[in-house]
Structure 1
């Protein structure tokens, strides 16, 4: 147990570092990486609550479950950011073609449209993970003690990841990218 905990103290930060590097290589933007990193703890909250409700202590198996949860939560967040970025790019292109500034209403509509396109895929992903892991979480038999501790962070975390992905992430994105829209409007008015 002590050796496994020592390895986890090395593996968890290494995993997060790899996730950060991959996010930066994908987006090439520190602000977008920061959006996902800042919202990632919210995905973990559901896992912590389910562990508390189930009476599980932190163990190697739970650590593995949290590593898997972080990967899936980041994946869902990346998909949401890609669609939000696409909606913002389309809005900028239309504004440039019309030579009109982007209004706050147009900005919010574009973000709602981008986020709305991801509701069904996010819900399907989360539902599939939860439904697939529930038998593992509440199963009995050989190895069920370890497997339930791996599944608990994933099941609980996926429930909070829905809120993260569909509500919190677009709201934070809207706040962060507002400065970019203001800069775009200023540049458009100069030309």
Structure 2
């Protein structure tokens, strides 16, 4: 349904960040970069699922869509940042390697790092806003079930 679509909305933003960093560093799109996109998409989806799951918990507790989205972004800030930071830092040495095999390592790592920056920002700022916008209207038009 709807929340799953919001989670998948992370993918274009993640791809944009990955493509931007490839272009910025003058690196070609290669098989290694494609593999980097696959790894990036996995982390981006995971972060979106973490946030949307927490929003749903807050909604079940009775919060409005906007309040639940804001509270979820606040409460899941550290886990989402930790996931993205660990993945980015792990790829950092690969992104700037110069030894043998660097032509494979640099595009892969650059895609992951650039994409994680952009998808993390989307997850923490845009996804809660979209959730509040799209799911806040459902409760306004629904009758009270008191």
Specify if TM > 0.5.
yes
For residues 105 and 37 of structure 2, what CA distance do their matches in structure 1 show?
13
CA contact (8 A) 1:87 1:110 kept: yes
Which residue of the other structure, out of 126, 132, 137, is the alignment partner of 1:179?
137
More helix by share: 1
Partner of 2:14: 43
The number of residues matched between the two structures is 146
Find the residue that maps to 2:99 and give its secondary structure: coil
Matched position secondary structure for 1:187: coil
Shift of 1:183: 4.6
User: Match of 2:28, SS?
Assistant: coil
Structure of higher CA gyration radius: 1
Q: For structure 1, which runs of at least 5 residues remain unmatched after alignment?
A: 1-29, 93-105
Does the 8 Å CA contact 2:66/2:133 hold for their aligned counterparts? Answer: no
If asked which structure has higher relative contact order (CA below 8 Å, sep 6+), I would say: 2
Q: CA RMSD in A?
A: 1.6
- Report the TM-score, using the length of structure 2 for normalisation: 0.91
Using structure 1 for the length normalisation, give the TM-score.
Answer: 0.71
CA deviations on 1:43-73 (whole Å, 9 max, x unpaired) are 2111111100111121111111111111110
Q: Whole-Å Cα distance in 1 between the matches of residues 67 and 100 of structure 2?
A: 52
User: Could you tell me which residue of structure 2 aligns to residue 74 of structure 1?
Assistant: 45
